[in-house]
Structure 1
Amino acid sequence: MHDLTGFQRDLLYVITGLDDPHGLAIKEELEEYYTSEIHHGRLYPNLDTLVDKGLVEKGELDQRTNVYTTTRRGERELEDRREWEDQYVALDE
């Protein structure tokens, strides 16, 4: 996780949190957060990087739509990241 860009970490968070994590849904969610358009040339290569690193699995929903799911390794990386963040940032709940 330490070798990911901030955008790649955000992708991983969004994929983990969405019920139907396909490319367009991920793109729309990120555009709300970033308040700017996320171009395909930025989105899909970064998704492929997460797949290559074993953090995300890519499957087919249909012939035109890919679906992305967080792997066990990706979930562990997110948990480790959250523990690391909690050491430095204590937010009142």
Structure 2
Amino acid sequence: MIIERLSKEHLNIEKLLAILERELEVFDRGDRADYEVIHAVISYFEVYPEVYHHPQEDLVFAKLRGTRSGCCCEGRRSSSRTPERGPTFTPRRSGGRQRSRGT
């Protein structure tokens, strides 16, 4: 079922964020982070959510709203995208500090 798949994907996203957080902690300590892992996680977030995951969520939201086409939340993701860079991502860093890409 679609809800079960989306729930599993959310759990997987949490795991990927935890992996990224660990690599950032390694970097913050001054050690060498695994840049291949960081690149793989960021690459995933640049493509998968927008192309595969969010359209499935949109179908669920549309169904809940009783609409047949379009998303009840049109534009809800537009604020999280920049045309030149794709999705933005700001992981939490230890100590409550934030790291943002390109800003």
TM more than 0.5: no
Name the TM-score, length of structure 2 as normaliser.
0.29
Higher helix fraction (1 or 2): 2
Name the TM-score, length of structure 1 as normaliser.
0.31
Bigger RCO (CA 8 Å, 6+ sep): 1
